[in-house]
Chains A and B, each alone.
Chain A
C-alpha cells in the first residue's frame, strides 16, 4: 500500500512538532546546554592534549587540530541519533505524544518529519555551542569553520533519518542498544576520526567509505583546517543521498508501524 520509497506527503504542519520540541528543549536549557560544552572540553583535554602530546602531529597537522572536526562530527551524529532513537521512542511509546498529535490536523508524516527536523536542529545547536570553545583554544580556523553550522544540520538530518528507521522497527527500547553499540560506537572510532583512514587495512578502508560518519568528518575537516578539495563534493553528494533515502524510508516505516 505504502512502499518504503514512496514520497511522503509532509506539510508545513511538521513545523509545529519541531516547535514543540524546541520549546521543551529551551525550557530545560541548563540541562541541555551543559553536556556539549563539557564534552568539548573533555575531548580537547583528554585526547587532544593528552594523546596529542605524544602524537604531536598527523600529516603535518597538529593532532588537536586533526581531531577537532571529528569531535564536532561525532557530536552531530550522537545528538541527532540519540534524539531520534531514545527520544522519539519515548515520545512515541511511553508518552503517546504521536497519538495525541495525529488526533489534530497533523498527519503522521508531519509528526515524523517534525521529529527528524528537530533531531537535525539539535545537532546544529550542539555545534553552535561547541564552536566558541574550539575557537578559544585556536584549534579551528575561521571564517570557513562557520560553515560547520549548516553542515551540522545536514549531517544531523542524515543521522536522524537513520535513527528513525531503527526506531520504527525496534520491538522495545532495550533493543535500541544494538544500533548504539554495534553501529554508532564503531563508527565514532573508525571513520577517520582519531587517526587517518589510510592506517586501516585496505578492506577496512573500503568499509569505512560506506559509513556515513566518514563523509561528514571529511567535509568537517576540510572546513576547519581549512583544506578544501574536490573530494568534498563527492562527500556532500553522498550525505545528501543517504539523508534523502533514510528520511523518506523512516517516515514510511513509521507510518506502517503506527497507522493500523
Chain B
C-alpha cells in the first residue's frame, strides 16, 4: 500500500546490528503542583515493537503519553524520542509522530476527507500528496464511503477509525495511541486491532495505553503495568502471567468447608466475592485435592490471564 512507502521495516535490519531505541526515558517525572502524576519512571521502547502502558485510571498513563508526544513538558528526568529532547526539538519529533488521543478531537468544520487533508497540511505535506494519502487512508480504515460526510454524522467507531487514519497521515515512525478502542463495540475494536497488527507487521513502532487487558495481551510485545505514577512490572504479557500468577486459575464457590479445607492443606488462595481463586501451575492436582477432601460445590478452571496479573498488582479497589 502506498502510504507505507519510503519506510524501512524492522526485519530489514541486518542481523547483529543494534536495534535503535525510539524512546529512552530515565527517571521521568511529572508533577502538577504537589500531585505526582508520573514518579521517576524509566523505560526504553525499541524500533518495531508494540509497547503497552497498562494501569487503572489515574495511574499516569496519559500524562506519560503527553510527555512523549511533546505536548506536556516533563518536570524532571531525561527523555529522548528518536534521540532528540522534546523540550528542545519538539517540532522535529512531532513531524515523525502519529497520535491517537483519548478524547476525540476531529475537526467538526470538515468532512472525513477534509479532516485528513487539513491535518496533512499541518505536516507540510504538499497538496497533491496529501490528497492521495487521504484517499488511501480512508480506504485503510474502511471509511471511503464516508469521504464527504461531516464528522458529526459518524458513529463512535467511525470517529475512532478516522482518528487512527489521521494519526497515519504523515507516515509516522512512532504511533502513540491513548486508549485507541475506548467505548467501541467488538466489531469496531477488532477492526482497529487488525489494522494495528498490520501496521506492526510493516515495522511501525507503537506505544499504547489501555485498560482492556485482552487488547494488551493481543497486541503488545512488551508492556509495563503502572499504578500511582510508578511502573510496577515490565515484561512480555506471557512472561508476566507466568511470573506473577502461574499457569492456571481454579475458581471454586466459597463455602466454609472449602475455606477451612484449603487452609488445612496449606494451599494459597484468594477470596473474591463469593468465589475462591487458586492460582496454580497444575489445576489437575488442585482440583483432585478439592474433590478428594473438600466437597466443593461449583468448580471451574481457566488459563491465567493478564487481567489476573493486573488485579493482583493493582488491587481490586475501585479507582476514581
Residues of A with Cβ closer than 8 Å to B?
11, 13, 16, 19-20, 23-24, 27, 95-97, 99-107, 259-260
CA distance A187 to B94 in the complex (A): 43
- Asked if B108 and A16 make an inter-chain contact with CB atoms under 8 angstroms apart, the answer reads no
CA distance A100 to B98 in the complex (A): 11
- Asked if A97 and B105 make an inter-chain contact with CB atoms under 8 angstroms apart, the answer reads yes
A13, A24, A106, A107: which contacts B109 (Cβ < 8 A)?
A: A24
CA distance A97 to B90 in the complex (A): 19
- Cβ contacts under 8 Å, B108 to chain A: 95
- Asked if B106 and A105 make an inter-chain contact with CB atoms under 8 angstroms apart, the answer reads no
**Distance in Å: Cβ of B102 to nearest Cβ of chain A:** 10
**From A19, A23, A24, A105, residue with most partner B Cβ within 10 Å:** A105
- Cβ contacts under 8 Å, A104 to chain B: 94, 119, 122-123, 170
- If A103-B99, A260-B32 are given as contacts, then 15 extra A-B residue pairs at C-beta distance below 8 Å, sorted by A number, are A20-B121, A23-B118, A24-B109, A95-B108, A99-B105, A100-B105, A100-B106, A100-B119, A103-B71, A104-B94, A104-B119, A104-B122, A105-B122, A106-B91, A260-B72
CA distance A213 to B108 in the complex (A): 34
- Cβ contacts under 8 Å, A106 to chain B: 91, 122
- B84-115 residues with Cβ-Cβ distance < 8 A to A are 90-92, 94-95, 97, 99, 101, 103-110
**Distance in Å: Cβ of B207 to nearest Cβ of chain A:** 14
Nearest residue (CB) in A for B110 is: A24
- Asked if A97 and B94 make an inter-chain contact with CB atoms under 8 angstroms apart, the answer reads no
- Cβ contacts under 8 Å, B95 to chain A: 105
- Cβ contacts under 8 Å, B104 to chain A: 96
CA distance A41 to B92 in the complex (A): 50
13 pairs, A vs B, C-beta closer than 8 Å: A16-B121, A20-B107, A24-B109, A95-B105, A95-B109, A100-B106, A102-B71, A103-B71, A103-B97, A105-B91, A105-B95, A105-B123, A107-B91
- Asked if B94 and A259 make an inter-chain contact with CB atoms under 8 angstroms apart, the answer reads no
CA distance A167 to B18 in the complex (A): 50
B interface secondary structure, majority: loop
Nearest residue (CB) in A for B105 is: A96
Asked whether A259 and B124 contact (CB < 8 A) given A23-B118, A95-B107, A97-B105, the answer is no
- Asked if A99 and B101 make an inter-chain contact with CB atoms under 8 angstroms apart, the answer reads yes
- Asked if B121 and A19 make an inter-chain contact with CB atoms under 8 angstroms apart, the answer reads yes
**Distance in Å: Cβ of B65 to nearest Cβ of chain A:** 11
CA distance A19 to B110 in the complex (A): 13
- Cβ contacts under 8 Å, B71 to chain A: 99, 102-103, 259
B303 is an interface residue with CB less than 8 A from chain A: no
Asked whether A97 and B97 contact (CB < 8 A) given A19-B121, A20-B118, A104-B123, the answer is no
B83 is an interface residue with CB less than 8 A from chain A: no
**Distance in Å: Cβ of A192 to nearest Cβ of chain B:** 38
CA distance A107 to B122 in the complex (A): 11
- Cβ contacts under 8 Å, B119 to chain A: 100, 104
**From A23, A27, A100, residue with most partner B Cβ within 10 Å:** A100
Nearest residue (CB) in A for B163 is: A100
- Cβ contacts under 8 Å, B72 to chain A: 259-260
Asked whether A99 and B97 contact (CB < 8 A) given A105-B123, A107-B91, A259-B72, the answer is no
- Cβ contacts under 8 Å, A23 to chain B: 118
- Cβ contacts under 8 Å, A102 to chain B: 71
B183 is an interface residue with CB less than 8 A from chain A: no
CA distance A99 to B69 in the complex (A): 11
- Cβ contacts under 8 Å, B124 to chain A: 105
Asked whether A99 and B107 contact (CB < 8 A) given A19-B121, A259-B73, the answer is no
**Distance in Å: Cβ of B57 to nearest Cβ of chain A:** 18
- Asked if A16 and B122 make an inter-chain contact with CB atoms under 8 angstroms apart, the answer reads yes
Nearest residue (CB) in A for B73 is: A259
- Cβ contacts under 8 Å, A24 to chain B: 109-110
CA distance A104 to B91 in the complex (A): 7
**Distance in Å: Cβ of A62 to nearest Cβ of chain B:** 43
- Asked if A103 and B94 make an inter-chain contact with CB atoms under 8 angstroms apart, the answer reads yes
- B26-52 residues with Cβ-Cβ distance < 8 A to A are 32
CA distance A259 to B74 in the complex (A): 11
Nearest residue (CB) in B for A111 is: B122
CA distance A107 to B94 in the complex (A): 10
CA distance A100 to B106 in the complex (A): 7
- Cβ contacts under 8 Å, A260 to chain B: 32, 72
- Cβ contacts under 8 Å, A11 to chain B: 91
- Cβ contacts under 8 Å, A101 to chain B: 122
**Distance in Å: Cβ of B149 to nearest Cβ of chain A:** 15
- Asked if B122 and A99 make an inter-chain contact with CB atoms under 8 angstroms apart, the answer reads no
